[in-house]
Amino acid sequence: MVLGQTLAQIKMKAVIILSAGHGKRMKSVLSKVLHKVAGKPMLQWVLDAVKILNADQVITVTSPELESHEILKDTDVVVQAVPLGTGDALKLGVQKLKSNIDKVFLLCADTPLLDPKDIKKLEHSKADLTVIGMQLNDLSKSYGRIECNSECHPVAIRETKHNEKVKNISLGNAGVYAFRVEMLKELLPHLKINTESGEIYATDLVELAITKSYKTELVIADEENFLGVNTLVELSQAEKIMQHRIKTRHMLNGVQFMLPETSYVNYDAEIGAGTIIEQGVHIGENVHIAKNAKILGFSYLSNCTIENAASIGPFAHLRGNVVVEEHASIGNFVEVKGSTISKNAKAKHLSYIGDATVGEGANIGAGTITCNYNGFEKFKTHIGKNVMIGANSTLVAPVMISDGAYIAAGSVITEDVGPNNLAISRTQQQEKNAWALSFRAKYSKKLS
């Protein structure tokens, strides 16, 4: 507190986020604002974007279904039981404001592409009401249009669905505002229900502010940042834009994408410089890739750590707390779950490694499977350093293969194997002389 100021004199700011719409056009059982873009719910993108304001209060106006959702735990929740428009939602939010709030920022929860820098511009405005506008290249879009006076100050916002003539105005309404609370409390009771829609629009506050001689201001920002998502088509558009942003950031930090438009990267991925990512790769949640790794085509990664110079794929699947250490290699059609693959270890072909530790320098032959589940419990397989597992081996957990051991191809291993030992578990080979000749002759006669 500044010396000499009372609590009543301290100016505070709040954010109100509107997230109560049913999102019927999404045709989904999932709430619209919980649909994810790059792995993060749209509402969370907005909550994260407004952190730049360091607001004293964040209020979400939401539907009854989301009232107790974990995503809202750090906000003050207001329920709009019946969605009667943005104006009605804003009224409900204002009722929840703390007593010393002086300025309110209003945003919608279905705009996941928000740039925090645009929101910061609102904070610097000295006007009673500030609107973010965007220059539209396509005048057929359904954004509301901002009418300005000769000094480029907003005087009204017109909805195109109620007034086709305003589509000729190229200044679109982004749906993000800053208000002085004193003005809001005076003007909100004067908002009227739109006779065509039956809703109350927060956009009408601009014209009301002018009639009451309040000052308005316009902030210009890029249209892309305010894409509103109301359908699954628009969700895919937002995903495409966000993927481009994420991969551009990684590429500028030294990550090479062979065909970036074919890959998916989750918002929280960490990828080190010098890493090469081939086409069709899916990098899901909680993936950490160190420097100079190679992620080959059509591999699927989630919840894993890939250390320096490791190689994954092609067509590999890593999931569930996997660690692949330096210079280790996971090859084609290998699935790894809940396991650690140590330095210089290899599993190059057609294997499943689950709930296992694979020691440094070990080699897992093609077709090897760790049998980790008995229908009720999961069990561990421990493979030591420099172990050689022959092709088509089955390791039935719990089992330990000690350092330097060899497992003969085609073995089913149910007991621990000592260090540097050879384990063979298969029936003795038999041969029947000339059996193939009589077999073919039998079928040749049958088919003739």
- Amino acid 166: pLDDT: 82
> How many angstroms from the chain centroid is the CA of residue 278?
20
Set 153, 288, 349, 382: catalytic member: 349
User: Does 163 have pLDDT greater than 60?
Assistant: yes
Is-contact 357 379, C-beta < 8 A?
A: no
User: What was the pLDDT predicted at 10?
Assistant: 67
Instruction: Work out the pLDDT band at 292, boundaries 50, 70, 90.
Output: very high
Select the more confidently predicted residue: 448 or 309: 309
Q: How far is the C-alpha of 353 from the C-alpha of 318, rounded, in Å? A: 10
What is the rounded distance in angstroms from the CA atom of residue 38 to the CA atom of residue 43? 13
Determine the average pLDDT of the residues in 24-29: 91
Mean of pLDDT values over 62-87 = 94
- The pLDDT assigned to 168 comes to 87
Residues 6+ apart with CB under 8 A from 211: none
pLDDT band of 9, cuts 50, 70, 90: low
- The 10s digit of each residue's pLDDT in 236-253 is 999 999 999 999 999 999
Pair 357, 342: CB distance under 8 Å:
yes
Question: How many whole angstroms separate alpha carbon 89 and alpha carbon 424?
Answer: 72
**Which domains can be identified in the chain, with CATH numbers?**
7-226 (3.90.550.10), 232-423 (2.160.10.10)
In SS3 terms, 278-303 reads as CCCCEECCCEEECCCCEECCCCEECC
Mean predicted confidence (pLDDT) in 105-120: 96
pLDDT at site 35? 97
The radius of gyration computed from the CA coordinates of the chain, to the nearest angstrom, equals 31
Percent of the chain topping pLDDT 90 = 85
Confidence of residue 97 (pLDDT cuts 50, 70, 90): very high
Identify the band that residue 2 occupies on the pLDDT scale cut at 50, 70 and 90: very low
pLDDT, residue 7, reads: 47
- Give residue-wise pLDDT tens across range 176-230: 999 999 999 999 999 999 888 889 999 999 999 999 999 999 999 999 999 999 9
Mean pLDDT of the chain: 94
Overall average pLDDT of the 131-136 stretch:
95
* pLDDT 10s digits, 429-444: 889 999 999 988 998 8
Sequence-distant (6+) residues with CB within 8 A of 368 are 347, 351, 352, 353, 389, 391, 392, 393, 394, 395
- The question of whether 22 is a catalytic residue gets the answer no
